Amino acid sequence: MTYAWRRRPAGQAPGHPAGRWLWWGLAFVLSLSLVASVEVAAQRRKPSRRTPPPPVSPMVGKDIRIKRMDGLEIVGKLVKLDLQGITYINAGGEQATIALENVAVLTLGEPVKRIDQRFVSDARQAVDALSRINTLVNGNPTFSQYDGLVVDARVAVESFLAKYNDYEEQTDFFDSLRSVLRSYELVRPLWATMQGADRRISLTESAPELIPILRMYPDLRATEYNQNGRYPTDKVIAYVWNRTAQRLRSVRAQLDQLASKAT
């Protein structure tokens, strides 16, 4: 703002009203400028107000165990839980999210028993013993060869289960292991009926050797092997071995997942 100084006209007294109005105007403008400067300085000194961060759930960072709908388990640290799903840090340190509809059981805040390398190594020995049976039946085994490997597998599996019977969170894996062993064992009495002079090439549903197999594999009744209530023994054995191989692949997948979480 520029102020023009006017010379007092000749003959005008110093206290003339026009002079007083000029001085009052200058004083008013200067006071406004001073007030504005004070307000600007105050604004600069005033601390800025920041929006407070959203509250953090006390469960964030806690141990979690997720059992998926397909039976597999996940352990890790909770990052976020909302309607979109569960976000967590897995054992490998990576962040992942699983949708709620894929979760069967969620356990929060409980310490998770860590899987160590010894557990994985012992489990692999049991699985390898079962795998040797699977390899054998893909060839042309004899009954004595089969029987010997089943006995060996039973020792390996039962020793493993006895050693880790307090690992309650691994019951699904243990049950899967038992089911594979049980399936191979059911073939032994069935195969034995084909030995000797009184060998039987087919069995009825009421045969004691076939009843437990139909209980484990009820879908067998709907196959072509059901010939008016009688079942060819060799076909049933092949069917059981094929289904057992599928179970064994599932057990291997479970073991691989456990190995990925081992510390």
- For residue 170, being part of any structural domain is answered with yes
CA triple 46-48-50, angle to 5 deg: 155
- For residue 84, being part of any structural domain is answered with yes
Number of domains the chain is built from: 2
150 lies in the same domain as 218: yes
Q: Cβ(88)–Cβ(95) under 8 Å?
A: yes
Q: Cβ(116)–Cβ(172) under 8 Å?
A: no
- Mean pLDDT, rounded, for 22-51: 54
The Cα 202–Cα 180 span in angstroms is 24
Domain of residue 137 covers 117-260
142 lies in the same domain as 238: yes
- Mean pLDDT, rounded, for 190-201: 78
- Mean pLDDT, rounded, for 113-123: 84
What confidence tier does 4 reach under pLDDT thresholds 50, 70, 90? very low
Domain of residue 103, CATH code = 2.30.30.100
Mind listing the pLDDT tens digit for each residue in 209-218? 999 999 999 9
Instruction: Examine the pLDDT at 203 and tell me if it is beyond 70.
Output: yes
147 lies in the same domain as 230: yes
- For residue 52, being part of any structural domain is answered with no
Query: What pTM was estimated for this model as a whole?
Result: 0.59
214 lies in the same domain as 152: yes
Q: Cβ(73)–Cβ(65) under 8 Å?
A: yes
Higher pLDDT, 12 or 249: 249
Q: Cβ(68)–Cβ(104) under 8 Å?
A: yes
Higher pLDDT, 200 or 55: 200
- Mean pLDDT, rounded, for 246-253: 95
